[in-house]
Amino acid sequence: MTAIAQELVEFPTALVKAREGDHDAFAEIVEQHEAMVYSLAWNFFRDRSRAEEIAQDVFLQLFRNLASIESPSHLVFWLRQVTTRRCIDVSRRGRLRPVSLEEAGEIPARERNRDPLLDQTLQRLIGELPELQRVVLTLRYQEDLDPSEICRIVEVPVNTVKSHLHRALRSLRKRLESSR
């Protein structure tokens, strides 16, 4: 099989069509990855309106850069990287277009058999972590990535990622214990 034929087999039809300007195909891609992008932003800011706005911006940017996407795995990597960068950028600049609560949607329902107080405390403590620790922690536990994958997304050495992860976990343990 030639390299081009191989790429066509591996390249999903939706991506090919979206590249040609097909909005329905692009909507299919958005639906496939919206939870990942939205959650990265939500777990960073703990704010539905900000998460919605950032997720919309990221997909808008993706639509303009579809030609640069090389494969489905590159698409996922690209979305994770652009979302985390945008979260840090927005957090530093404090700049956002207001999104209505209708657009932002409902607060996701909590799982049963979980301690709502612990969940709330963890959310608050994660929100208080420094930006990079929060990003590394989110990529580790939301996306289940290992430090070698995280370091490619945040573009820092793998040892720095490990150190941020270690510090974040130590800080969370310590503060959880003191909050009990």
77 touches another protein (CB under 8 A): no
Of 100, 75, 66, 88, the closest CA to residue 10 belongs to 75
Residue 88 found at the interface with another protein (CB under 8 A): no
- 18 scored as a contact of another protein (CB under 8 A): no
CB 154 within 8 A of CB 82: no
Q: Please list, in sequence order, all residues whose beta carbon lies within 8 angstroms of the beta carbon of residue 107, skipping any fewer than 6 positions away.
A: 48
* Structure tokens belonging to residue 46: 């703990």
Q: Using the Cα atoms of residue 91, residue 152, residue 41 and residue 34 in order, give the sign of their dihedral.
A: positive
Minimum CB separation from another protein for residue 9, in Å?
26
Our CB check for another protein shows the closer of 1 and 67 to be 67
Choosing from 93, 106, 117, 155, the residue that interacts with another protein (CB under 8 A) is: 106
Of the candidate residues 10, 31, 89, 131, the single one contacting another protein (CB under 8 A) = 31
Number of residues that bind another protein (CB under 8 A): 42
Q: What is the dihedral of CA 46, 47, 53, 59, to 10 degrees?
A: 30
CB-CB contact of 44 with 31 (8 Å): no
Contact residues for another protein, defined by CB under 8 A: 23, 26-27, 30-31, 34-36, 38-39, 42-43, 48, 51-52, 55-56, 59-60, 63, 102-106, 108, 111, 114, 118-119, 122-123, 126, 137-138, 141-142, 144, 169, 172-173, 176
